[in-house]
């Protein structure tokens, strides 16, 4: 056994559970354990869903162990022993729920055929009969494939996926946990950047803010909540759902600059031109790599913000600069209270579903009303989710632009507390 003599006593139990294999039991002493993992990009509230699962199972007197994959399925397959989550008390779980990013560690991996033998061997060794994965589109697909593989093998395994993605592109749910908090952070950042730019009119001309969103522009659209008046920043919001038109963009920049004296642009990283090419890939001398799913890594180099900044400087002769918040927008502890509540509730619902015998589903948010904001949680089949993305639909556009009123109606109830409207002299 490893020597933990130099580790403080209150930390030894955790260290031990991280590095020791779970005891094996005989066939006549089989128990039903649950394993849970986190996958994909972290968020401000993904740990709330994790805490919700543990709390619900505890209250329902779940007889088995609740085990956590450290580093997701990738590290579990690599031999990393799972962490016993049953050992933590309610005060610790409260702190977990209010901690940003993925406490168990995350991964991005696509399972291949050779992984299944190893994975189900580990499930058998650790007596896993329940599987929960918290994540986005890829994670829901993984949960579905595991359920299908278990049925094919005749292995008793129930699988649930819990939604999480800041891009808000997960199909089947009104919105995804993590998105409202990331959106709130971006609204505040846009207000601050807008005030800074307005202060420097005459010296700074154009600012580009690049936000996440490969195919869905929800995060960029959310920055419209920073506007209290028509002339307020952001002056231009660009989303992937509308092909980028260079001529129209430059004309808008010139018009706003003439009227306001400065221009704040918010652009999704996944902007494409009319030919379907990512703007981020059009930078000379930049070779963009690919992730495990074969998708272009749009954050490499200057990205879309660099492309737009250079375009403004070259074609309009204006001073321009850009901000790339990058991963800051993902796990910033500037969370929405609604987001935290919903993430915790979805975790509880998933545990409830499993104990009621459900499998192959995801707990989804259904909006009941906006004012006051009310929601319900309902199960949706994972087979209905995979292979689909929730992009901004036509109802949120008007005259080939985002419909600000519709966007605000949808998003405002989710971003709580509402960022303060700044004071301005008129």
13 CB neighbour count, 10 Å cutoff:
14
Q: What are phi and psi of 21, to 5 degrees?
A: -65, 150
The answer on whether 1 is annotated among ligand-binding residues is: no
- Beta carbons within 8 Å of 410's beta carbon, 6+ residues apart: 396
The answer on whether 194 is annotated among ligand-binding residues is: no
The answer on whether 167 is annotated among ligand-binding residues is: yes
Cα dihedral 131, 135, 140, 146 sign: negative
Q: In angstroms, rounded to a whole number, what is the distance separating the alpha carbons of residues 425 and 225?
A: 20
Check if the beta carbon of residue 305 is closer than 8 Å to that of residue 332: no
The answer on whether 52 is annotated among ligand-binding residues is: no
The answer on whether 424 is annotated among ligand-binding residues is: no
Check if the beta carbon of residue 119 is closer than 8 Å to that of residue 77: yes
Question: On the CB side of 275, how many CA atoms lie within 13 Å of its CA?
Answer: 6
Q: In angstroms, rounded to a whole number, what is the distance separating the alpha carbons of residues 237 and 407?
A: 12
Closest CA to 98 of 326, 343, 328: 343
The answer on whether 401 is annotated among ligand-binding residues is: no
- Check if 167 is active-site: yes
The answer on whether 212 is annotated among ligand-binding residues is: yes
Q: In angstroms, rounded to a whole number, what is the distance separating the alpha carbons of residues 242 and 315?
A: 22
Pick the catalytic residue: 84, 167, 169, 403? 167
Q: At 6, list the tokens.
A: 């130099």
Q: What are phi and psi of 363, to 5 degrees?
A: -70, 125
The answer on whether 137 is annotated among ligand-binding residues is: yes
According to DSSP, the β-strands at 33-38 and 128-135 are: parallel
The answer on whether 386 is annotated among ligand-binding residues is: no
According to DSSP, the β-strands at 373-381 and 397-398 are: unpaired
- Beta carbons within 8 Å of 365's beta carbon, 6+ residues apart: 163, 173, 174, 175, 342, 346, 375, 376, 377
Q: In angstroms, rounded to a whole number, what is the distance separating the alpha carbons of residues 216 and 58?
A: 37
Numbered residues of the known binding site for diphosphate: 41
Numbered residues of the known binding site for substrate: 165-167, 212-214, 269
Numbered residues of the known binding site for Mg(2+): 137
Residues belonging to the active site = 167
């Amino acid at each position: 056994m490893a020597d933990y003599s130099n580790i403080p006593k209150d930390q030894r139990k955790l260290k031990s559970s991280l590095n020791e294999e779970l005891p094996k039991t005989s066939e006549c002493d089989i128990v039903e354990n649950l394993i849970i993992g986190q996958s994909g990009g972290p968020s401000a509230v993904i740990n709330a869903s994790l805490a919700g699962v543990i709390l619900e199972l505890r209250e329902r007197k779940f007889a088995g162990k609740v085990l956590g994959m450290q580093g997701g399925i990738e590290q579990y397959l690599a031999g990393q022993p799972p962490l016993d989550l049953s050992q933590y008390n309610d005060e610790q779980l409260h702190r977990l729920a209010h901690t940003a990013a993925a406490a168990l560690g995350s991964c991005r991996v696509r399972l291949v055929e050779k992984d299944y033998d190893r994975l189900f061997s580990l499930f058998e060794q650790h007596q896993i009969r329940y599987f929960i994965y918290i994540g986005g589109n890829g994670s829901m697909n993984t949960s579905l494939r595991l359920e299908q593989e278990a049925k094919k093998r005749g292995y008793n395994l129930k699988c649930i996926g819990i939604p999480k993605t800041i891009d808000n592109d997960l199909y089947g749910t009104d919105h995804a946990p993590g998105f409202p908090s990331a959106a709130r952070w971006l609204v505040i950042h846009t207000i601050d950047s807008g005030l800074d730019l307005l202060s420097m009119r005459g010296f700074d001309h154009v600012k580009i803010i690049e936000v996440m969103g490969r195919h869905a522009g929800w995060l960029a659209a959310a920055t419209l909540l920073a506007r209290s008046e028509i002339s307020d920043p952001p002056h231009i919001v660009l989303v992937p759902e509308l092909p980028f038109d260079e001529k129209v963009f430059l004309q808008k920049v010139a018009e706003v600059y003439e009227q306001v004296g400065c221009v704040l642009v918010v652009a999704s990283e996944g902007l494409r031109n009319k030919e379907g090419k990512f703007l981020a890939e059009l930078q000379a001398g930049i070779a963009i790599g690919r992730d495990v799913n074969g998708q272009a890594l749009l954050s490499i180099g200057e990205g879309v913000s660099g492309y737009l900044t250079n375009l403004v400087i070259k074609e309009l002769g204006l001073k321009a600069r850009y901000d790339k918040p990058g991963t800051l927008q993902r796990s910033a502890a500037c969370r929405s209270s609604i987001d935290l509540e919903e993430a915790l509730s979805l975790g509880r619902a998933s545990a409830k579903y499993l104990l009621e015998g459900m499998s192959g589903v995801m707990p989804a948010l259904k909006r009941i009303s906006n004012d006051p904001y009310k929601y319900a949680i309902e199960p949706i089949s994972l087979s209905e989710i995979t292979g689909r993305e929730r992009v901004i639909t036509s109802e949120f556009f008007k005259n080939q632009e985002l419909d600000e009123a519709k966007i605000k109606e949808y998003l405002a109830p989710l971003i709580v507390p509402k960022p303060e409207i700044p004071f301005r002299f008129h």
